[in-house]
Amino acid sequence: MRGLYAIADVGTLDARGLDAVAFARAVLRAKPAALQLRAKDVPPREALALLRAIAPLCHLAGVPLVANDRPDLAILAGCDLVHVGQDDMPIDRVRRIAPGIGVGVSTHTLEQLEAAFAARPSYVAIGPIFETSTKRNADPVVGLAVLRAASVRARAAGVPLVAIGGITRERAVELAGLVDAAAVVSALLPPPVAPDTYPAAADRLREVTARATQMQAALLPKAAAAGAAR
Protein backbone atom coordinates (compact mmCIF):
# COMPACT_ATOMS: atom_id res chain seq x y z
CA MET A 1 0.00 0.00 0.00
CA ARG A 2 1.64 3.19 -1.22
CA GLY A 3 0.30 6.74 -1.48
CA LEU A 4 -3.24 8.01 -1.09
CA TYR A 5 -5.70 6.02 1.01
CA ALA A 6 -8.92 7.78 -0.01
CA ILE A 7 -11.95 7.73 2.27
CA ALA A 8 -15.49 8.27 1.01
CA ASP A 9 -17.22 9.42 4.19
CA VAL A 10 -20.93 9.41 3.43
CA GLY A 11 -21.82 11.97 6.11
CA THR A 12 -19.20 14.43 4.88
CA LEU A 13 -20.18 13.88 1.26
CA ASP A 14 -23.86 14.42 2.02
CA ALA A 15 -23.00 17.70 3.75
CA ARG A 16 -21.16 18.82 0.60
CA GLY A 17 -23.94 17.69 -1.73
CA LEU A 18 -21.87 14.91 -3.34
CA ASP A 19 -22.99 11.39 -4.19
CA ALA A 20 -20.74 8.67 -2.74
CA VAL A 21 -20.62 6.58 -5.91
CA ALA A 22 -19.87 9.60 -8.10
CA PHE A 23 -17.18 10.67 -5.62
CA ALA A 24 -15.65 7.20 -5.74
CA ARG A 25 -15.58 7.26 -9.54
CA ALA A 26 -13.85 10.67 -9.47
CA VAL A 27 -11.24 9.59 -6.89
CA LEU A 28 -10.47 6.33 -8.69
CA ARG A 29 -9.27 8.28 -11.72
CA ALA A 30 -6.24 9.20 -9.57
CA LYS A 31 -5.43 5.50 -8.93
CA PRO A 32 -5.17 5.74 -5.13
CA ALA A 33 -3.63 3.00 -3.01
CA ALA A 34 -7.06 2.13 -1.58
CA LEU A 35 -10.60 3.47 -1.26
CA GLN A 36 -12.60 3.07 1.93
CA LEU A 37 -16.34 3.59 2.26
CA ARG A 38 -17.16 5.01 5.69
CA ALA A 39 -20.92 4.86 6.22
CA LYS A 40 -21.36 4.90 9.98
CA ASP A 41 -24.81 6.50 10.06
CA VAL A 42 -26.16 4.67 7.03
CA PRO A 43 -28.53 1.68 7.44
CA PRO A 44 -26.79 -1.64 6.64
CA ARG A 45 -28.91 -2.30 3.55
CA GLU A 46 -28.01 1.10 2.10
CA ALA A 47 -24.34 0.70 3.02
CA LEU A 48 -24.28 -2.67 1.27
CA ALA A 49 -25.87 -1.15 -1.83
CA LEU A 50 -23.17 1.54 -1.90
CA LEU A 51 -20.39 -1.01 -1.49
CA ARG A 52 -21.86 -3.15 -4.27
CA ALA A 53 -22.05 -0.12 -6.55
CA ILE A 54 -18.47 0.95 -5.82
CA ALA A 55 -16.87 -2.52 -5.85
CA PRO A 56 -16.86 -2.99 -9.66
CA LEU A 57 -15.46 0.52 -10.11
CA CYS A 58 -12.59 -0.32 -7.75
CA HIS A 59 -11.94 -3.68 -9.36
CA LEU A 60 -11.87 -2.12 -12.83
CA ALA A 61 -9.36 0.49 -11.58
CA GLY A 62 -7.28 -2.11 -9.75
CA VAL A 63 -7.79 -0.31 -6.43
CA PRO A 64 -8.62 -2.25 -3.22
CA LEU A 65 -12.03 -1.46 -1.72
CA VAL A 66 -12.20 -1.25 2.07
CA ALA A 67 -15.41 -1.61 4.08
CA ASN A 68 -15.47 0.24 7.39
CA ASP A 69 -16.44 -1.75 10.50
CA ARG A 70 -18.57 -4.45 8.82
CA PRO A 71 -16.89 -7.72 7.73
CA ASP A 72 -20.30 -9.17 6.88
CA LEU A 73 -20.97 -6.39 4.39
CA ALA A 74 -17.41 -6.69 3.07
CA ILE A 75 -18.03 -10.36 2.23
CA LEU A 76 -21.41 -9.69 0.59
CA ALA A 77 -20.06 -6.80 -1.51
CA GLY A 78 -16.82 -8.48 -2.59
CA CYS A 79 -14.53 -6.02 -0.80
CA ASP A 80 -10.80 -6.57 -0.56
CA LEU A 81 -10.35 -5.37 3.01
CA VAL A 82 -12.28 -4.39 6.10
CA HIS A 83 -11.15 -1.67 8.51
CA VAL A 84 -11.90 -1.84 12.23
CA GLY A 85 -11.35 0.53 15.12
CA GLN A 86 -10.42 -0.05 18.74
CA ASP A 87 -14.09 -0.37 19.75
CA ASP A 88 -15.05 -2.61 16.84
CA MET A 89 -14.81 -6.35 16.32
CA PRO A 90 -11.41 -7.88 17.21
CA ILE A 91 -9.22 -8.86 14.28
CA ASP A 92 -9.32 -12.60 15.03
CA ARG A 93 -13.13 -12.56 14.98
CA VAL A 94 -13.17 -10.52 11.76
CA ARG A 95 -11.03 -13.20 10.16
CA ARG A 96 -13.42 -15.93 11.26
CA ILE A 97 -16.36 -14.07 9.71
CA ALA A 98 -14.54 -12.93 6.58
CA PRO A 99 -11.73 -15.38 5.82
CA GLY A 100 -9.52 -14.31 2.96
CA ILE A 101 -10.31 -10.61 3.35
CA GLY A 102 -7.52 -8.34 4.57
CA VAL A 103 -7.96 -6.47 7.84
CA GLY A 104 -6.69 -3.01 8.75
CA VAL A 105 -6.97 -1.50 12.21
CA SER A 106 -7.00 1.99 13.70
CA THR A 107 -4.73 2.82 16.62
CA HIS A 108 -4.30 5.98 18.68
CA THR A 109 -1.37 5.16 20.96
CA LEU A 110 1.91 3.30 20.67
CA GLU A 111 0.54 0.66 23.05
CA GLN A 112 -2.42 0.02 20.75
CA LEU A 113 -0.03 -0.08 17.82
CA GLU A 114 2.10 -2.80 19.41
CA ALA A 115 -1.01 -4.82 20.28
CA ALA A 116 -2.21 -4.55 16.67
CA PHE A 117 1.12 -5.82 15.31
CA ALA A 118 0.66 -9.06 17.22
CA ALA A 119 -2.44 -9.83 15.12
CA ARG A 120 -0.51 -9.31 11.83
CA PRO A 121 -3.03 -7.01 10.13
CA SER A 122 -2.79 -5.97 6.49
CA TYR A 123 -1.92 -2.47 7.69
CA VAL A 124 -2.13 -0.35 10.83
CA ALA A 125 -3.46 3.21 10.83
CA ILE A 126 -2.45 5.69 13.52
CA GLY A 127 -3.93 9.07 14.28
CA PRO A 128 -5.29 11.60 14.30
CA ILE A 129 -1.94 13.08 13.34
CA PHE A 130 -3.44 16.57 13.08
CA GLU A 131 -6.78 18.08 14.12
CA THR A 132 -9.66 16.57 12.15
CA SER A 133 -13.25 17.67 11.65
CA THR A 134 -14.61 14.64 9.80
CA LYS A 135 -14.90 12.27 12.76
CA ARG A 136 -17.15 12.81 15.74
CA ASN A 137 -15.56 12.31 19.17
CA ALA A 138 -12.13 12.01 17.61
CA ASP A 139 -9.29 10.75 19.76
CA PRO A 140 -6.63 13.23 20.93
CA VAL A 141 -4.13 14.36 18.31
CA VAL A 142 -1.03 12.16 18.45
CA GLY A 143 1.29 14.50 16.54
CA LEU A 144 4.42 13.91 14.51
CA ALA A 145 6.57 12.77 17.44
CA VAL A 146 4.36 9.76 18.05
CA LEU A 147 4.15 9.15 14.31
CA ARG A 148 7.95 9.01 14.11
CA ALA A 149 8.04 6.44 16.91
CA ALA A 150 5.23 4.49 15.23
CA SER A 151 7.19 4.49 11.96
CA VAL A 152 10.21 2.90 13.62
CA ARG A 153 8.04 0.22 15.23
CA ALA A 154 6.10 -0.46 12.02
CA ARG A 155 9.36 -0.95 10.11
CA ALA A 156 10.54 -3.41 12.74
CA ALA A 157 7.23 -5.29 12.62
CA GLY A 158 7.07 -5.31 8.81
CA VAL A 159 3.50 -3.93 8.82
CA PRO A 160 2.47 -1.05 6.50
CA LEU A 161 1.71 2.16 8.37
CA VAL A 162 -1.08 4.56 7.39
CA ALA A 163 -1.33 8.06 8.85
CA ILE A 164 -4.80 9.53 9.32
CA GLY A 165 -6.31 12.75 10.59
CA GLY A 166 -6.22 16.27 9.20
CA ILE A 167 -3.83 15.46 6.35
CA THR A 168 -3.66 18.04 3.58
CA ARG A 169 -1.39 18.17 0.53
CA GLU A 170 0.81 20.70 2.32
CA ARG A 171 1.02 18.59 5.48
CA ALA A 172 1.86 15.50 3.46
CA VAL A 173 5.37 16.93 3.16
CA GLU A 174 5.75 16.44 6.92
CA LEU A 175 5.08 12.73 6.51
CA ALA A 176 8.11 12.21 4.28
CA GLY A 177 9.81 8.92 5.03
CA LEU A 178 7.47 8.09 7.89
CA VAL A 179 4.47 6.28 6.40
CA ASP A 180 3.45 4.03 3.56
CA ALA A 181 0.16 5.80 2.94
CA ALA A 182 -2.02 8.63 4.21
CA ALA A 183 -5.78 8.42 4.70
CA VAL A 184 -7.56 11.55 3.47
CA VAL A 185 -11.16 12.75 3.58
CA SER A 186 -11.67 16.53 3.54
CA ALA A 187 -8.61 17.44 1.50
CA LEU A 188 -10.14 15.61 -1.46
CA LEU A 189 -13.24 17.81 -1.43
CA PRO A 190 -13.92 21.30 -2.76
CA PRO A 191 -14.22 23.95 -0.03
CA PRO A 192 -17.67 24.04 1.63
CA VAL A 193 -20.09 26.64 0.31
CA ALA A 194 -23.78 27.35 0.77
CA PRO A 195 -25.90 24.75 -1.09
CA ASP A 196 -27.53 27.42 -3.25
CA THR A 197 -24.07 28.44 -4.52
CA TYR A 198 -22.76 24.97 -5.36
CA PRO A 199 -20.94 24.80 -8.70
CA ALA A 200 -22.24 22.15 -11.10
CA ALA A 201 -21.75 18.61 -9.82
CA ALA A 202 -19.52 17.77 -12.79
CA ASP A 203 -17.22 20.67 -11.93
CA ARG A 204 -17.00 19.63 -8.28
CA LEU A 205 -16.20 16.06 -9.24
CA ARG A 206 -13.48 17.23 -11.61
CA GLU A 207 -12.00 19.11 -8.67
CA VAL A 208 -12.14 15.92 -6.59
CA THR A 209 -10.15 14.12 -9.28
CA ALA A 210 -7.63 16.97 -9.42
CA ARG A 211 -7.21 17.05 -5.65
CA ALA A 212 -6.82 13.26 -5.45
CA THR A 213 -4.25 13.34 -8.26
CA GLN A 214 -2.28 16.09 -6.51
CA MET A 215 -2.41 14.27 -3.18
CA GLN A 216 -1.28 11.03 -4.79
CA ALA A 217 1.63 12.83 -6.47
CA ALA A 218 2.59 14.46 -3.16
CA LEU A 219 2.47 11.19 -1.24
CA LEU A 220 4.01 8.72 -3.64
CA PRO A 221 7.58 9.99 -3.31
CA LYS A 222 7.14 10.04 0.48
CA ALA A 223 5.72 6.53 0.53
CA ALA A 224 8.46 5.29 -1.80
CA ALA A 225 11.06 6.73 0.56
CA ALA A 226 9.39 4.98 3.48
CA GLY A 227 9.36 1.73 1.54
CA ALA A 228 13.04 2.05 0.69
CA ALA A 229 13.83 2.65 4.36
CA ARG A 230 12.02 -0.52 5.29
- List the domains of the chain with CATH numbers: 3-229 (3.20.20.70)
What is the structure's pLDDT at 200? 84
What is the structure's pLDDT at 222? 45
C-alpha span between 111 and 125 (Å, rounded):
13
Spatial contact of 35 and 65, defined as CB atoms under 8 Å apart: yes
C-alpha span between 99 and 113 (Å, rounded):
23
Q: How many CA atoms lie within 13 A of 180 on its CB side?
A: 20
103-116: b (≥16 Cβ within 10 Å) or e: bbbbbbeeebbeeb
Q: Which helix (H) or strand (E) is 31 found in, with range?
A: none
C-alpha span between 101 and 94 (Å, rounded):
9
What is the structure's pLDDT at 62? 97
| Mean pLDDT, the chain, whole residue set | 91
Nearest to residue 62, comparing CAs of 37, 38, 28, 25?
Answer: 28
Enumerate residues 6+ apart whose C-beta is below 8 A from 193.
none
| Prediction pTM value | 0.91
What is the structure's pLDDT at 229? 45
Q: Where are the alpha helices (DSSP H) in 87-142?
A: 91-97, 110-118
pLDDT tens over the chain, length 230 residues: 899 999 999 999 998 889 999 999 999 999 999 999 999 999 999 999 999 999 999 999 999 999 999 999 999 999 999 999 999 999 999 999 999 999 999 999 999 999 999 999 999 999 999 987 666 666 789 999 999 999 999 999 999 999 999 999 888 878 868 999 999 999 999 887 776 777 788 899 999 999 999 999 888 864 444 444 44
Enumerate residues 6+ apart whose C-beta is below 8 A from 112.
86
pLDDT digits (tens, 9 = 90+) for 118-132: 999 999 999 999 987
Within 10 angstroms of residue 173's Cβ, the number of other Cβ atoms is 12
